[in-house]
């Protein structure tokens, strides 16, 4: 039985890094025809191979999403490749770890544009299609930084807090049209993008000590939550931020 009801449901996943890539593979393994978007073509190819190994299929689009126009174009292109998205996952983001007084204007602008503006531009474009169709499952990758006041995370935390409110408004406006909008908020996850930071200056041990589960998460644990929220098993869940953090926000 297709317990998660994902077979044949077109999915658009934006961001092929650790969390987005794992989510694309998980959705494809459940039978969803996935279109994956990222700027890095090697990363896209790697995720596509992993999806094939898992018994699924991922088509790819290489694109720089840092403009509203390009975001709209990519949504239209993805719709042509796999059909109007019934599942949407936004997993794009970056961080610059600097104190507020050392954070440059360009750093602020670039992080807000990539982390938050792309979520709005893409979410609005996909949301219009889902509202018209009367069905949709949207999941944004947020962070515990949207709730906790981590030092040296000002721009990143601001974008994740803003993202949490953005999705709540989308959820409120679109709930009656069959569209759910939620987020998963990872705690400390080990990915290829975070490994260098974790391996320096005792950072891994310091972070593990803050997590009640006493370990870091892995991308597949985020992908499991994304897959659930993308399914009809979560049809009455909307406007929520699901913390997948080993208990980090409890302490």
Buried b (16+ CB within 10 A) or exposed e, 182-194: bbbbbbbbbbeeb
C-beta of residue 122 within 8 angstroms of C-beta of residue 167: no
d(CA 133, CA 114): 28
Active-site option among 135, 156, 188, 243: 156
d(CA 178, CA 171): 10
The verdict on whether 120 is a catalytic residue reads no
Enumerate residues 6+ apart whose C-beta is below 8 A from 46. Answer: 16, 21
d(CA 41, CA 56): 19
Helix axes 118-133, 68-82, angle to 10 degrees: 40
C-beta of residue 61 within 8 angstroms of C-beta of residue 35: yes
C-beta of residue 126 within 8 angstroms of C-beta of residue 136: yes
Q: Which residues are catalytic?
A: 156
């Amino acid at each position: 039985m297709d317990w998660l009801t994902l077979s044949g449901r077109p999915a658009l996943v934006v961001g092929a890094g650790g969390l987005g890539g794992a989510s694309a593979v998980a959705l494809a393994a459940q039978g969803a025809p996935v279109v994956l978007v990222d700027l890095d073509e090697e990363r896209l190819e790697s995720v596509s191979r992993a999806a094939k190994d898992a018994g699924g299929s991922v088509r790819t689009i290489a694109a720089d999403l840092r403009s509203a126009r390009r975001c709209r174009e990519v949504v239209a292109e993805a719709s042509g490749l796999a059909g109007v998205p019934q599942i949407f996952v936004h997993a794009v983001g970056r961080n610059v770890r600097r104190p507020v007084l050392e954070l440059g204007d360009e750093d602020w602008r670039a992080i807000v544009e990539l982390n938050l503006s792309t979520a709005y531009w893409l979410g609005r474009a996909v949301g219009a299609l889902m509202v018209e169709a009367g069905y949709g499952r949207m999941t944004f990758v947020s962070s515990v930084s949207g709730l906790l006041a981590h030092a040296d995370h000002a721009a990143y935390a601001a974008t994740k807090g803003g993202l949490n409110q953005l999705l709540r408004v989308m959820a409120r406006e679109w709930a009656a049209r069959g569209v759910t909008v939620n987020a998963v908020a990872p705690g400390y996850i080990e990915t290829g993008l975070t490994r260098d930071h974790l391996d320096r200056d005792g950072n891994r041990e310091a972070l593990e000590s803050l997590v009640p589960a006493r370990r870091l998460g892995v991308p597949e644990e985020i992908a499991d939550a994304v897959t659930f929220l993308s399914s009809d098993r979560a049809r009455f869940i909307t406007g929520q931020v699901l913390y997948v953090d080993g208990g980090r926000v409890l302490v």
